[in-house]
Amino acid sequence: MKTRPYHHGDLRAALLALAEDTLRDRGPAELSLRELAREAGVSPAAPSRHFKTKQALLDALAVEGFERLTGTMTGVLERAGASFAERLTALTRTYVSFATGNPALLELMFSRKHEPNPPAELITAMQGLMTMATDLIEDGQRRGEVREGPIVMAAVPLAAILQGMTDLALSGGFTGEQVDEGLTETIAFILRGYAP
Amino acid sequence: MKTRPYHHGDLRAALLALAEDTLRDRGPAELSLRELAREAGVSPAAPSRHFKTKQALLDALAVEGFERLTGTMTGVLERAGASFAERLTALTRTYVSFATGNPALLELMFSRKHEPNPPAELITAMQGLMTMATDLIEDGQRRGEVREGPIVMAAVPLAAILQGMTDLALSGGFTGEQVDEGLTETIAFILRGYAP
DNA sequence: ACCTGAACACCGTTCAAGT
DNA sequence: ACCTGAACACCGTTCAAGT
């Protein structure tokens, strides 16, 4: 049998995993570095070697979330059809599925959006997701399935509707089936809006 | 000249005003009850008579925000034209204007959306805003300017796009002029989506 | 009714010191 | 390099006591 990693092996990864757990079932307000340290079996000062500050840990968690989401999306796109409608549907379903599966993490991922100095790593991770949206639209425009216009402006409604759809799925008390129907409706709305 | 209100007059209102100030220019994370008490010139325990907990103060602030926003919107609607396009434009501009003027407050207003037990007052205040959106759409449907369909589902894209537009205006580093153009684009997108 | 003073159990962060 | 122990300056909240 394996012994526990000597002197706490990979504390950084352990802290991230524990943080995601408490984030998931007790919310970000309840997250305490000292408590994380206790759960990991280290002293209160130990985490500071890996995350200079509590915010740094939260940022690292957010980056991890973006990477997981964009990774999944990339995989899904490879298996999806070529039309704008098919690719939009595939990405939308992936996004909403991630959101309903990791609501607190998703909120954390976007929580630093309006703040003055988001760390470079987080900006990069966020842009990765934004790029998937703009690529989707540009591809649709090339295929003549999406009306012309500035890409950034076109990406806003898409991103926004996804967030809104997600909110409804999370807090609306809907069944999985209802969310699925709503998704179809929403995608139809977007397609009409983008129609040439 | 007026003397300062005896024994701190309306501490409740004073705390709310001070809280909104620090929320505006230092963010919600920096908000401390003890500091608010210091600024108001009372003991650390004094606020607890008016707000049992820090969250209660934040909730009260959020409720105040919703009331101010819906109040302004109602006034604007009275002066707006009758067509769906006109009323949608009027409400959208009012919303984005409030959002860019009170970004931190707006975020606070929606921050308890996903949490388990939002206080009844906050739910009511949020529903007031939601009702304005659904009323707008129902009115458009009655006039034959908006396609038929479940109102809730139709309100999601609207609310979502507004939030998304707001995000872009806040964190995109756009000029007022650019936001204005973007708004026109966005409204056009919504109108196409809703077209019968 | 409204507020004070003092206390309790926590925080995040720092820093010398250990291994 | 990584962690401990102890300390510092703060929290939110509670509760007897004052006016």
Judge whether residue B11 has pLDDT over 60.
Answer: yes
| pLDDT category of residue B150 using cuts at 50, 70 and 90 | confident
Q: Is A189 on the interface with B (CB under 8 A)?
A: yes
Considering the domain architecture, whether residues A46 and A61 belong to the same structural domain is answered as no
Please name which of B180, B61, B105 lies closest in space to residue A153, comparing C-alpha atoms: B180
Q: Determine the pLDDT at residue B137.
A: 96
Distance B88 CA to C10 C1' (A): 49
Q: Tokens 């998931």 correspond to what residue?
A: A24
What is the mean predicted confidence (pLDDT) over B132-161?
91
Considering the domain architecture, whether residues B83 and B179 belong to the same structural domain is answered as yes
Task: Say if the Cβ atoms of A157 and B164 lie within 8 Å.
Answer: yes
**Mind listing the pLDDT tens digit for each residue in A33-43?**
999 999 999 99
**Mind listing the pLDDT tens digit for each residue in B46-88?**
999 999 999 999 999 999 999 999 999 999 999 999 999 999 9
Task: Give the A:B interface size as CB pairs under 8 Å.
Answer: 88
Q: Determine the pLDDT at residue B151.
A: 87
Please name which of B149, B84, B193 lies closest in space to residue A195, comparing C-alpha atoms: B193
Judge whether residue B16 has pLDDT over 70.
Answer: yes
Specify the CATH number for the domain of residue A137: 1.10.357.10
Considering the domain architecture, whether residues A84 and A131 belong to the same structural domain is answered as yes
Distance A32 CA to C9 C1' (A): 14
Q: Determine the pLDDT at residue B7.
A: 65
| pLDDT category of residue B143 using cuts at 50, 70 and 90 | very high
Considering the domain architecture, whether residues B157 and B168 belong to the same structural domain is answered as yes
Q: Is A159 on the interface with B (CB under 8 A)?
A: yes
Q: Residues by CB within 7 A of strand C: list them.
A: A 31-35, 44-45, 48, 52-55; B 7-8, 11, 37, 41-46, 49-50
Q: Determine the pLDDT at residue A7.
A: 65
Q: Is A151 on the interface with B (CB under 8 A)?
A: no
**Residue by residue, what is the 3-state secondary structure of chain B?**
CCCCCHHHCCHHHHHHHHHHHHHHHHCHHHCCHHHHHHHHCCCCCHHHHCCCCHHHHHHHHHHHHHHHHHHHHHHHHHHCCCCHHHHHHHHHHHHHHHHHHCHHHHHHHHCCCCCCCCCHHHHHHHHHHHHHHHHHHHHHHHCCCCCCCCHHHHHHHHHHHHHHHHHHHHHCCCCHHHHHHHHHHHHHHHHHHHCC
Q: Determine the pLDDT at residue B113.
A: 82
Considering the domain architecture, whether residues B44 and B141 belong to the same structural domain is answered as no
Task: Say if the Cβ atoms of A195 and B195 lie within 8 Å.
Answer: no
B20: containing domain: 1-52
Q: What pTM does this model have?
A: 0.92
Task: Say if the Cβ atoms of B164 and A168 lie within 8 Å.
Answer: no
Q: Determine the pLDDT at residue A178.
A: 84
Considering the domain architecture, whether residues A32 and A74 belong to the same structural domain is answered as no
CB distance A191 to A166 below 8 Å: no
**Mind listing the pLDDT tens digit for each residue in A142-196?**
999 999 988 878 888 898 888 888 888 887 677 888 888 888 888 999 999 888 8
- Report the half-sphere exposure of A72 (CA within 13 A, side-chain side): 15
Q: Determine the pLDDT at residue A113.
A: 82
Considering the domain architecture, whether residues A127 and A89 belong to the same structural domain is answered as yes
Rounded Cα distance, A12 and A48, in Å: 10
Judge whether residue B134 has pLDDT over 70.
Answer: yes
**Mind listing the pLDDT tens digit for each residue in A94-111?**
999 999 899 999 999 999
Nearest CA in chain A to B147: A189
Strand D bases near protein CB (under 7 Å) are 2-7, 10-16
Considering the domain architecture, whether residues B12 and B58 belong to the same structural domain is answered as no
Considering the domain architecture, whether residues A98 and A163 belong to the same structural domain is answered as yes
Considering the domain architecture, whether residues B82 and B30 belong to the same structural domain is answered as no
Considering the domain architecture, whether residues B14 and B62 belong to the same structural domain is answered as no
Tell me which chain B residues have a C-beta less than 8 angstroms from the C-beta of A160: 160-165, 167
In angstroms, what separates the C-alpha of A172 from chain B's closest C-alpha?
9
CB distance B76 to B139 below 8 Å: no
- Nearest Cβ partner for B163 among A152, A164, A172: A164
Report residue A24 as tokens: 């998931």
Q: Determine the pLDDT at residue B174.
A: 78
Q: Determine the pLDDT at residue A89.
A: 95
Q: Determine the pLDDT at residue A114.
A: 79
Considering the domain architecture, whether residues A178 and A100 belong to the same structural domain is answered as yes
**Mind listing the pLDDT tens digit for each residue in B86-125?**
999 999 999 999 998 999 999 999 998 878 788 999 999 9
What is the mean predicted confidence (pLDDT) over A71-88?
97
Specify the CATH number for the domain of residue A32: 1.10.10.60
* Closest nucleotide to the alpha carbon of A5, via C1': D2
**Mind listing the pLDDT tens digit for each residue in A137-152?**
999 999 999 999 888 7
Q: Determine the pLDDT at residue A31.
A: 95
Among left, alpha and beta (phi > 0; psi -120 to 50; other), residue B81 is: beta
Tell me which chain A residues have a C-beta less than 8 angstroms from the C-beta of B156: 161, 164-165, 167-168, 182, 186
Q: Does nucleic acid strand D have an atom less than 7 angstroms from the CB of B49?
A: no
* Closest nucleotide to the alpha carbon of A54, via C1': C12
Query: How many domains, in total, are found in chain B?
Result: 2
Q: Determine the pLDDT at residue B4.
A: 38
Distance A60 CA to D2 C1' (A): 20
Judge whether residue B42 has pLDDT over 80.
Answer: yes
